[in-house]
Amino acid sequence: MEDLVPKTAVDNGMKGHKAPWPEKGFVGLKTLVVGLGATGLSVSRFLKRRGAEVVAVDAKPLGDIPGAGELTAMGVRVETGGAGEEDFSKARLVIVSPGVPA
C-alpha cells in the first residue's frame, strides 16, 4: 500500500494521506466511469490518455451519447444499459458523474 501515497502528499507533510490512485499514475488502473454526460466523457478521456483501463457506462442507448464514438476509438470500452455488478467488482476506481441520479 506504500505506492498509494503520492510524492506530493509526502513532500507537503501529509505522510499519512492515502490517495486513491497509485504513485505511478493511472497506468493500468481498472476504472469504471458511470454516466457519459459532459463530465463522464471528459474524465474518461483524461484517464485513458494517462493509461488507465477505462470502462464507461450509461443507461442511454449508444446513439444518444455524443462522444461515445471518440471514446471507443481511444480504446475505452463503452457499455449501454447501465453498469452491472461485474463492472463494479472489477474496478479499482469508480467515478460517478454528477448527473447520475442517486
In this structure, the dihedral spanned by the alpha carbons of residues 58, 62, 66 and 69, taken in order and rounded to 10 degrees, is 110
Of 22-26, 69-73, 76-80, 97-101, give the lowest mean pLDDT range: 22-26
Of 17-26, 30-39, 81-90, give the range with the top mean pLDDT: 30-39
Q: Which residues pair with residue 34 across a beta bridge?
A: 57, 96
- Residue where the block lists cell 490512485: 21
Q: Residues 83, 32: contact at Cβ < 8 Å? A: yes
Identify the pLDDT of residue 1. 39
Which pLDDT tens digit goes with each residue over 32-84? 999 999 999 999 999 999 999 999 999 999 999 999 999 999 999 999 987 78
Sequence-distant (6+) residues with CB within 8 A of 15 are 5, 9
Q: Is 74 left (phi over 0), alpha (psi -120 to 50) or beta?
A: alpha
For residues 99 and 39, the answer to whether their CB atoms sit within 8 Å is yes
Contact between 54 and 26 (Cβ < 8 Å): no
